[in-house]
Structure 1
């Protein structure tokens, strides 16, 4: 399939200065309940005029997108990183023009977890799986049929591996931000 045949989606910050374009279906659409996503979400939501991050149940919804299928169209100058600690294995990248978190990147990862709230609602595919639900806030119960395992499952890891294999086992560096 040619790149031009893939479904395109646009992610944007709250004020519209930063935009990304994704092509093709995401690897997965997930709601993460890990303690790091909850802590980072609370910290980033506390920034002045920040866009919402956490769902009411404490989850953070992502479209996990191959790095070779996402590009920054505008506003790269506004992108800043947030780490929970200096030696953190991941970073959240936000647009400091309006304090909208854009994506989560794992060190040496081959995908970006793009925050679902950065897409218009009509462009967001439904969540396929909840993950790391052992860390969900106390009292949160799920009443639908979306898989909600306590930790990452074999099928979760397999989808990531399969995407990496499709990329020739490469983990592209993003070229629109300083490392």
Structure 2
């Protein structure tokens, strides 16, 4: 069991099983949200996420403080912030079967090494990226296959995360 938590410890979310993958996203949306909803960006402009299946997360405490933030009212993604201490907790894609936890919300001992960076073509200077993981410009077939594999393992279900209030 891994418990994702906010800085002050009010929000606690149980995460079981292995993550789907650990990525850093460089898309324009993650760059914009990283500046707007809490400093989540690395020194080269990517956002570190640990992607987990929605059927493997359980709210333990602090749900009343969670607030969804969107870049636009019709955005398919919501960044969920702990209102108690203001830190971003996870990204929830409306039609997705996974949550992307901001990696620093997980205990350091439970963080996996980076699998890849994705959407680096949106970065202002992708040449500044380290070579410690693949740095494709867009989502790769392997990235999509990992997500599809997780969805197959879930029986093509898309559990709803209904313990977050819209902000």
What range is the shorter-chain TM-score in? over 0.9
* 1:162 is aligned to 2:149: yes
TM-fit CA distance, 1:175? 3.1
| Aligned with residue 102 of structure 2, among 115, 133, 137 | 115
TM-fit CA distance, 1:44? 1.1
The root-mean-square deviation of aligned C-alpha atoms, in Å, is 1.3
Query: Retained in 1: the 8 A contact 2:80–2:164?
Result: no
Q: 1:95-134 alignment to 2 at 5 Å?
A: 95-134=82-121
Structure 2 residues without counterparts, runs of 5 or longer: none
Alignment partner, residue 9 of structure 1: 2
What number of residue pairs does the alignment pair up? 166
Moved over 6 A (4+): none
* 1:22 is aligned to 2:15: yes
Query: Retained in 2: the 8 A contact 1:57–1:140?
Result: no
Taking the aligned partners of 1:57 and 1:178, their CA distance within structure 2 comes to 31
TM-fit CA distance, 1:120? 2.2
TM-score, normalising length: structure 1? 0.88
Query: Per-residue displacement from partner, 1:70-124 (whole Å, max 9, x unpaired)?
Result: 1111000000010000011110000011111001011121000010011122221
Q: 1:70-85 alignment to 2 at 5 Å?
A: 70-85=57-72
TM-score, normalising length: structure 2? 0.95
Query: Per-residue displacement from partner, 1:25-61 (whole Å, max 9, x unpaired)?
Result: 110100000010010010012xxxxxx4111111110
